[in-house]
Amino acid sequence: MDNENPLPDVHFKRINAQTVVEICKLSETLSPQQQLMVTDNAISIAQAHFSENAWMRAIYADETPVGFIMLHIGSDYDDGIDCPGAFLWRLMIAAPFQGEGYGRQAIERLLDHLRAQGVTELYTSVHLGEQSPEEFYKRLGFERTGEYYGDEPELKLKFS
C-alpha cells in the first residue's frame, strides 16, 4: 500500500434531507446501458420508504459519496421479493468511481454488517446482457441458484 495515497475508508451513511439529492444525482453518472441494469437511486429510495423490510445507505469513500446500497430482509410479496433471508436489492457505484474497488469494499462492509446479525447467506439477482454485473458478483463468490426473479437469475453467496 502506498503511504502517500492510502486507500479511502469505504463506509455507509444514512441518507438524510441534506444528502438525498446528491445521492440521487449519482445515478445520472451511469451510461445509458448501465441505467438499464440498475434502478435509479431516487426510485430505490422511494421504494425503500414504502417497504417494511428495506435497509438503505449511501456508500462513501472517506467523505465522498460514491454509491448506493439497499437490502431487503425476508420475503414480502408486496415488494416482489420472495427471499427468506437477506437480499441485496440494489447496489450502484457512480461511474467516476467504478473499477476502483469500491463495490467490492461495500460488499465486504455489508457482509460484516450481516455477520454481526448472525446472517450467513446473501442473495441477489442480476440483469443479463451487455454490462451485466453478474461477473462482478461471481468474482465475489456468488453463484447462481437456479431460481429467477422475473427474467433475472438469482445469485447466492454463503459466508461465515
Q: Domain limits of the chain?
A: 10-158
Strand order, beta sheet including 54-61: 10-13, 54-61, 64-73, 86-93, 121-125, 152-158, 143-149
Rounded (to 5) percent helix, strand, coil in the chain: 30, 30, 40
Report pLDDT digits (tens) over 87-138: 999 999 999 999 999 999 999 999 999 999 999 999 999 999 888 899 999 9
What pLDDT is recorded for position 1? 47
Which numeric CATH code is attached to 10-158?
A: 3.40.630.30
For residues 150 and 97, which has the higher predicted lDDT (pLDDT)?
A: 97
